[in-house]
Structure 1
Amino acid sequence: MSRHNISHETIIEAPIDLVWKELIAIDDWEWNRWTRLKATEPVEGTSGKLMASYEGDDKWQEFDFTFGPVNESSHILTWQGSVAGGCLFSGYHTMQLESVKEGQTKLIHKEQFGGLLPMIGAGLPYKTLNRNYLLMNESLKDNVEKKAKNKT
């Protein structure tokens, strides 16, 4: 376990199915200025390119990734990446939804880091990533809540 692991929870005032629909639509993550997933579809085992913009300014760095479990019934979207088989660096990203009550969803957003680089605090701007994951949560929340409001 790395001291740089990230975990944020956000309550979204929208039904879980609506939140899931927005989360799984990786080709339409216009709400997300910090991360883009370029892949044919979000299916376990599918590989792609993760685009990271640390400042949300359209300056992107590219990383290889592979989807882990993606499951509509448990509302989980995961992906992972590594360098040198994980000895140097690994990251396991999870976005999971839980229904709190009717019309309200909890987004649990985590990343677990492993390998030598996170252990010594090198390889990525971990504080910036921590901030960005919270900003991603808030941006998804705003996007989905506006859509939910327009449906009523």
Structure 2
Amino acid sequence: MTRHTKNIDAFVAASVSSSDHIVKAYLGLVAVELILKNDVGLKGHNVPAAIDKFAHLFAIGHHQGCKIKLNALVAQLRNAITAITVQGKDGNPCNAPVDSYPNIRYVRHESDSWPAPFTSEEQAKVLSAKVLEIRAYLKNKFGKAL
């Protein structure tokens, strides 16, 4: 039984309806996190590590080839998350931590006239697209409600 089904559905729907790339990525990552909590016992917000563990546990048998693809998606997701510049707790810019995607809420958007470093619209778009690709892969290959 999948727990948090209503929450997952709500975050997916909100992600699909948003036109903002950071919002789409954030809400999509929440949905992936909730799905993976059930499968791998994820305790924090390290979605890439959870996907790694998921691949190790479930990309076997007739899904064996999926492990390579999931590993590639994880590497790309890590890069996309850390490419996002956020406002750190100390008030200085820093890369979003790969083990805590919720920090992307504090993105330093180029359009807000932050001094460099900041996050470009293209970087936000890359993250959003990668999250969407991961959601689609988990749904199509493993039947996850994403």
TM-score, with normalisation over the residues of structure 1? Answer: 0.35
TM-score, with normalisation over the residues of structure 2? Answer: 0.36
The structure with the largest helix share of the pair is: 2
The structure with the largest strand share of the pair is: 1
